[in-house]
A and B are shown apart, each in its own frame.
Chain A
Amino acid sequence: MDLASRIGWTLLSFFVALNYGFVINGIIRKVMARIQGRFGPPVWQPYIDLGKMAFQRNSISHGIMFWLGPVFRAVGGVGLYLLMPVVMGDPRLYAFTDMGDLLLMMYFMFFGSLGMALGAGEGGHPHSPIGISRGLSQMTAYELPFILAVVALVAQTRSFDVTAIMAAQQGGVLHWNLFANPLSSIAAFIALLGMNMYAPFNIVGAPTEIPVGPMTEYHNAYISFMMVGRSAFAIAKTVLFMNLFLGGAHSVIEAVVKIFAIYFWTVFVGAVFMRFRAEQSVRFFLRWPAALGVAGLALSLWR
């Protein structure tokens, strides 16, 4: 495939994914509202928010790094999506995945958060570093079960190549790592709870305490940029989980369903749990999920 059509397909794929991300966000708000006994906003509310934020007439800046924060965030989200193979065997939906492997994806995940944190830091509002401190603590902690799970999968295929891990899961639902390596998968899916930052792991933003945490000083167009970044990032992350644990997808429809299922796992858990304090989540991730991860890795080495 020549570069031009590759870019074209990638843009199309990204456009669809982004919109799916917005729709999912809308659904989440609706679902949460219903759980809490409210009527809730319409499903297209995120589009309204985006438009409203993007076209506000004023904006302030605390400095160049502050201004670049949302740019970092958006690059991180979009870039991560561009590294994901979305539908198996369809090179049109592989974007730029040949640039690297699972390691590249895992480390590029930090790009947006790091840049965002730097930008927020220059804002000078104390709530930003408080949120970042909590976020960093929590993030590093949930990485342990996630890394353990990933290494367990990698140990089975002896490759960091995502397409190889996907290929190894073909031949039936029971070949999915979710069932073939349940301990590691559980560890990873618990880690996902932390990554998506719904309750019990939503101390980072901590509404009502440190209003919106790291983003406190951001507003208007910055927020719209962050929404784009976040949506792309959420979809990309979920696609990664789909590829790693749910055998990938063979069609766009399958991808849509699996993404929805994976994402709503964190939403439903979030709807029923109380919030952990930062050190509680750190301790939590380093105990049971990590233990499960170790067991999963041991299991996959033993086999």
Chain B
Amino acid sequence: MVNPILLVAVPLGVGFLLPLFGKLGRPVAVAVHGATILFTTAVAALWLPGLIDGSTAPLDITTGGWSAPIGITLRFGLPEAVLCVLAGLTALASLAALTPREDAETVGRSGLLQLLVLTGAFGLIMTRDLFNLYVFLEISSIGTYAIVAFGRDDSALEAGFKYMLIGAAASTFLLVAIAYLYKLTGTLSLVNMPGLVHTAPAGALAIVMLFLLAGMAIELKLIPVNGPALDLYDGAEPGVMALLTGATVNGVLFAFWKVSALFPQAWYPVLMTMGMITFTGGNLMATMQDRPRRMLGYSSSAQLGLLVFLVPLVRTGAVPMLAAGLLLINHTLAKSALLWLAGVIPGKTLDDWTGAFRSGFGGRVLLAAGILAITGLPPFPGFWGKWTVVTSLAHAGMNGWITALLLGSLFEFIYYYRWYQRVQTEDDSRTAARPVAGLWDLFGPALFGLGGLVLGLVWTVRMTGTPTEAVIVIAAVGLVLLLVKNLPALVLNLAGLLGVVAAALWLGRTGALAPDTLPGLFQLLILGGGALVLLAGLSGGSGASGSVPGLFMILVSSLLMLARAETLLQFFAGWEIMTWSSYLIIGHGRRGPKPASIYMVFSGAAGFLVLGGMMAAIGAGQTTLAGLGMLTGSAAVWAWTLLGLGFLVKSAAVGAHVWAPGAYSESPDLFTPFLSGVISKIPMFGFMVAALRIAAGNLALVTDGLDPLWLLGAVGAVTAFGMTLLAVFQEDAKKLLAYSSVGQVGYIVVGLAILSPLGWTAALFHVVHHLLFKGLLFFAIAGVIMRTGTRTMYEMGGLIKKMPLSFISTLIGIIALSGVPPLAGFTGKWLLYQALLAKGWYFILVLVMFASVVAFVYLFRLIHTVFLGQLKPQHRTVREVPLPLAVTQVLMIIGTMALAVYPQVLLRPLDALVRGQFQAAALTFDGTALVTATGATFNPTHMMVLVVILFVLMALGLLVLGPWPRKVGQLDIGFAGELPPPPQELHYAANFAQPYRRAWAHLVQPRVMRFWNAVADGGGGAVDLLRRMYSGNGQTYVMYAVLLVAVLALLGPGR
């Protein structure tokens, strides 16, 4: 094995020769530079396998052979090797990103500075000597000032100067601390010093620690002394910042890890507080940034804060070092990748990012991957790191810290997804000026993206076990489809369809798809819904091409993973992948980016609430879904509350419903049925397998007062009613159906909250039936939009003549939804109302019944304004939908009708399911009749027969009785002898619910929207004030450093 001392010696030696090589020509300099980095990286990497499996012992190097106080000690163990490899790779990719911007004149000097920075980082990582550490800090700092100022940008020069100013303060503090430490302990070796430092007098030690901490805080860019660093990110070349992130920043952090051994335990809370303030505060202030580079600066500061927060916890063993390591690796990979990509975009404001990476291959995918990784979403390593950290905190009972951490993570969502929203937004006026990422620009992001993905997948398997073959197949097909996304929609969707069918057959063979178990039923729904979407996608159209099919497959695989979950972690990992994959798909809608980012923020909040609930359970020792049933006391109450809130937010329950209409209506048309039919049911699945397991009997604490289940039911009922009312006022067909979907989920919530066999039967029946009829409606409307090019209902009309199949689909859909017999909507409502009656929740019963009646208004409006009335002249040439979409609709009609004629086909498995859950039956089947435990009877089959017979009789009667009617033209209407005006004026459609609008006006003000806007504005204003502390004035920044010392002196443990 090569001696790691060469890591310092070689780049330092070569570095100063680089300007000379530069004289020989640009290629020579770059080759030598690259070879040096490759050599050092290889040296470090060769150590890795042995260090990982433990066959190689960490190496201690003593320079000159002298022992500790005189010689300098270096160590090369596993953490050092990992950090050195990371630094080397970052340097390599930065070289690739920076070189094309250098000319022959500067390439050598720039290379020198890059190698200097790298050397400093290697030294910081390896050294075990306090003074030597200081020296390397200085080398790194000098390298940093120089390389930043090397840019051609004035703001970079200014930022570098400010950085130097505050760096001087840091150096002073550190030097004072080091001198005193040497005096107190008589050694500079970090190996020996921690054992000796406690012998020092307490007062002296306190002052030393004060200066040490202040100095390190500046180096680590903690709040409030991170101002210069922010300016640096804003001003300097992003490629340079990537190098600093991967090399210097990690080096400084590791240096801090080493000196943290000197801090007495009394200082730990201070370290944790400073770290967490930086994490949440940094992320919070970033939310008001409109300059992505500066935003990345805040984010870096925040991520470092999180790691600083973890240092004391790792020292005490509360958090495993591996978790912190994963977070650090994740941050390095993701942040460097984002910075390299940022280097491609010349402008600095968000506006410059509009539609970025639209052309060219891979830029946008890599940007998305980087953002997903840095926001801690699976399968990237950050997710596993964060999960481990949070579970460790839960075990230690540190709920306050968990809250702060999750809050900071939520802020992170806000600004990162707003940024990506801008990237997804298409602005055709900018196409010409838009830069395209070159091959070398993408080298680093691709390398790190791939690295993050591989590491993340390894960890996925490690933490959650190997997923079943079906999940792997679907996910793999998804990844392949993403790579070949430029193929025609037909090919993409066919491949996806085959993948889903193969997976379904596979799972069916193993018996996993039994509809009488919850996971089985939901897997059936997921695969069935997925197959229908892909089938419809064969016809092309919105949401059938590009990266949507690939993302859709990933979404389906994540849902399967979630439905099959046994542990909390498996559930949550599936949940988070579902969140981001559906988010990315929604963003592919034409006006999708903005609603998608709102969706993401609410989903993020839902995810963190669910995570919080899980932590309450894990803190009480339960890590499986089944274990939730054993929670008692306050852990049960917290888990129930947080999980329930999370699921409600994700299901867009009233109050959190503001995300839904935009996300539903702006998502690609062929994807919306899945969003409504399957994804909106996942929170319901969560209620059944997680939250309601707790409610089963262990909420004794609160049941004395308000029944939590009644409260849940009431929320469901208010959602059902409120969303129905809002649907009435929509002019946009998809928005109407969106509100309707959210409202329908409200009925399911009511059914689940009843927590009786019958209530669950009703809820599950509705889960399946809603997928069929609402999917049918969304598909029918998707076809109409495809053909007419509009979603605004009053712009259509009379389409029954042109699209009869779509009309029939819509007709069946609305009758099924309305609950009018003989379709199965009534069966569902009947089950629900009987369950409510048995439970005795009369006011909820009234509200949901009333809601179902109000639904008539929007249902009639949907079918009338689109299909009935007067056909517009511009639609005279409209054709019926393409064959695949028609087949999809026919299949769903068959499903809907089957449930109507013989609902037992579903009710019997559901009966077995609830019997397994409750050990009691909901229904008995008397022939074709359904009989509840209380004796209520309904015979859907007979009802259907009666209606059909009556219908045939009456139709025959009209045929026989009336004369054969003569077909007349569209405008042949009785118009009091006048010539009718054109169809546009005859079609009464806009503001159809006018009497309602007048009567209910005061009730349907957008109060909730106003509330959230006020939260955003108020919060934003406060944050804006806060972030003004970074005045951009170097003197102010130095003053903050001094103030930090003062505050620590007054409030710290040394006072």
Contact = CB atoms under 8 A, between A and B. Distances in A.
22 contacts: A62-B968, A71-B954, A74-B954, A82-B950, A100-B830, A100-B937, A100-B939, A104-B830, A108-B821, A110-B818, A124-B970, A132-B864, A136-B856, A136-B860, A141-B999, A143-B849, A151-B845, A154-B842, A161-B935, A216-B973, A279-B994, A279-B998
Contacts, number: 233
B13 to A, nearest CB: 85
B967 A137 contact: no
A68 B937 CA distance: 31
Contact of A160 (B834, B842, B946, B988): B834
Contact of B965 (A61, A78, A125): A61
Contact of B999 (A61, A65, A160, A286): A286
Given A63-B800, A125-B973, A126-B988, A78 B939 contact: no
A208 interface: no
B361 interface: no
A101 B938 contact: yes
Contacts of A301: 842
A200 interface: no
A297 B843 contact: yes
B66 interface: no
Interface string A107-146: 1101100100110011111100110111011111101100
B830 A114 contact: no
Interface in B816-850: 818-821, 826, 829-830, 833-834, 837-838, 840, 842-843, 845-846, 849-850
B989 A129 contact: yes
A251 B850 CA distance: 34
A108, A136, A161 — which one has the most chain B CB atoms within 10 A of its CB? A136
B857 interface: yes
Given A103-B829, A111-B947, 18 more contacts: A61-B965, A61-B968, A62-B968, A67-B958, A78-B950, A96-B942, A103-B826, A104-B826, A104-B943, A107-B819, A137-B993, A143-B850, A144-B853, A147-B853, A151-B846, A159-B936, A222-B958, A282-B995
A216 B974 contact: yes
Interface in A172-223: 216-217, 220-222
Interface string B966-989: 111011111100000000001111
A56 interface: yes
B391 interface: no
A145 B988 CA distance: 29
B875 to A, nearest CB: 14
Nearest to B815: A114
Given A57-B963, A75-B954, A99 B943 contact: yes
Contact of B973 (A57, A96, A111, A123): A123
A274 interface: no
A106 to B, nearest CB: 8
B820 A111 contact: yes
Contacts of A57: 963
A117 B838 CA distance: 35
Given A75-B951, A110-B818, A159-B934, A96 B958 contact: no
B800 A82 contact: no
A272 interface: no
A3 to B, nearest CB: 11
Given A75-B947, A160-B833, A216-B974, A56 B963 contact: yes
A133 B849 CA distance: 20
Contacts of A75: 947, 950-951, 954
A100 B938 contact: yes
A54 interface: yes
Contacts of B833: 103, 160
Contacts of B957: 74, 225
B870 interface: yes
A143 to B, nearest CB: 4
Contacts of A266: none
Contacts of A125: 973-975, 986
Given A58-B963, A74-B954, A140 B854 contact: yes
Interface in B763-817: 798, 800-801, 807, 811, 815
A79 B937 CA distance: 18
B934 A122 contact: no
A225 B958 contact: yes
Contacts of A152: 842
Contacts of B235: none
A206 B323 CA distance: 73
Contacts of A117: 860, 864
Nearest to B975: A125
Q: Please classify the interface of chain A as helix (H, G, I), strand (E, B), loop, or mixed, using the class held by over half of its residues.
A: helix
A121 B869 contact: yes
A193 to B, nearest CB: 17
B800 to A, nearest CB: 6
Given A103-B833, A108-B821, A126-B987, A60 B965 contact: yes
B57 interface: no
A242 interface: no
Nearest to B966: A60
Most central of B938, B939, B954, B965 by chain A CB within 10 Å: B954
A121 B989 CA distance: 11
A70 interface: yes
B968 A60 contact: yes
A123 B882 CA distance: 28
A234 to B, nearest CB: 17
A82 B945 CA distance: 13
B868 A65 contact: yes
Interface string B409-436: 0000000000000000000000000000
Contacts of B999: 137, 141, 279-280, 282-283, 286
B484 interface: no
Contacts of B971: 124
Nearest to B804: A64
A250 interface: no
B821 A111 contact: yes
Contacts of A31: none
A99 B857 contact: no
B993 to A, nearest CB: 7
Given A103-B829, A104-B938, A61 B973 contact: no
A133 B868 contact: no
Given A124-B798, A143-B853, A147-B846, A282 B860 contact: no
A34 interface: no
B1002 to A, nearest CB: 11
B805 to A, nearest CB: 13
B869 A221 contact: no
A158 interface: yes
Nearest to A82: B946
Contact of A99 (B845, B942, B995): B942
Contacts of B986: 124-126
B996 interface: yes
B54 to A, nearest CB: 70
B487 interface: no
Interface string A146-166: 011001101100111100000
A101 to B, nearest CB: 6
Contacts of A56: 963
A279 B854 CA distance: 14
B837 A158 contact: yes
Contacts of A139: 853, 856
B832 to A, nearest CB: 10
A231 interface: no
A286 B843 CA distance: 15
A141 B1003 CA distance: 14
B863 interface: yes
B1051 interface: no
B954 A282 contact: no
Given A121-B869, A159-B934, A134 B864 contact: no
Interface string A273-284: 000011110110
| 6 residue pairs, one from A and one from B, having the closest CB atoms | A221-B962, A121-B868, A278-B995, A61-B965, A282-B999, A279-B998
